Amino acid sequence: MTWANRFKLFVGLIAVVGIVAVLTIVFNQRQAQVMSASASIQAAEYPVGSDYGGTVLDRLVDDGDKVKAGQALFRLQSPTLQADLAEGLVTADNVAYSVGDDGVLTLTASVDGTLTDITTERGSFVQAGQVLAVIDKTGSLFVSADFVLTSGDYARIEPGADVDILLPNQTRVAGTMDTLDVQTADGQAETTAKVVSPDLVDGAANGLMAPGTPVTATISLRDDGLLAGASDGLFSFLRTIGL
């Protein structure tokens, strides 16, 4: 064998070893991650309702309106409330409503947010306890993600695990697992994770950061393999250079 052929063989062997090493590290890394079956951005929800039934005199807001805490939303007339006020059984003002001298109940926003899911119109009669609308609280975005996990996956999930959130426009957001709930339905385990991130800002990413936006969440499991250190180092380097 000539020296030229020996050199080609050496280079070939080095290339094969390199490719196998990279594929092994990538495979090992993928074994330390699990992708959500479904996920979407959610917000803390505050229902708007009353303990008193009555007739809706006015609907002062529309679906999708931005509202401030204390802002008037609905005005109701409730004979039951008027009777209770006359007997001193209730106070005239509350964080979620106020009562005028004419006995008209005004439901107000308890938090800043966006009004959604309006279920009633002017002139409608609402029952006591009925939810008239929902407020998605400003600054409370999180991701709710459903996962299909094996028993081995559960053992490798750590509190505060890193989660990669991928928006529909391919924007990536780094998050952490806040809670993990497991329920059984029809004999199948259903796992739902709540993922939080300071980078989930209302209206960011061209408006995609909003309740209802579908995303993909990939949770990092504890890597117990022999290549854990090498994998972490390689992928940390790739993230550093923007790949």
Q: State pLDDT tens for residues 46-75.
A: 999 888 888 999 999 999 999 999 899 999
Q: What is the pLDDT of residue 152?
A: 74
In angstroms, the CA 150 to CA 137 distance is: 34
In angstroms, the CA 181 to CA 146 distance is: 10
In angstroms, the CA 40 to CA 165 distance is: 10
Nearest 5 degrees, angle CA 160-CA 202-CA 211?
80
Model pTM?
Answer: 0.71
Q: What is the pLDDT of residue 162?
A: 92
In angstroms, the CA 189 to CA 170 distance is: 30
Regions of the chain short of the pLDDT cut 50: none
Q: What is the pLDDT of residue 46?
A: 94
Tell me if 116 sits within 8 A of 133, measured CB to CB. yes
At residue 183, φ and ψ (nearest 5 deg) are -130, 155
Rg (CA), the chain: 28
DSSP 33-95: EEE-SEEEEE--EEEEE-SS-EEEEEE---TT-EE-TT-EEEEEE-HHHHHHHHTT-S-SEET
E strand or H helix that includes residue 233: helix 228-240
Please name the amino acid found at residue 95: V
For the chain, how many helices (H) and strands (E)? 4, 17
Q: What is the pLDDT of residue 56?
A: 93
In angstroms, the CA 60 to CA 144 distance is: 31
Q: What is the pLDDT of residue 17?
A: 75
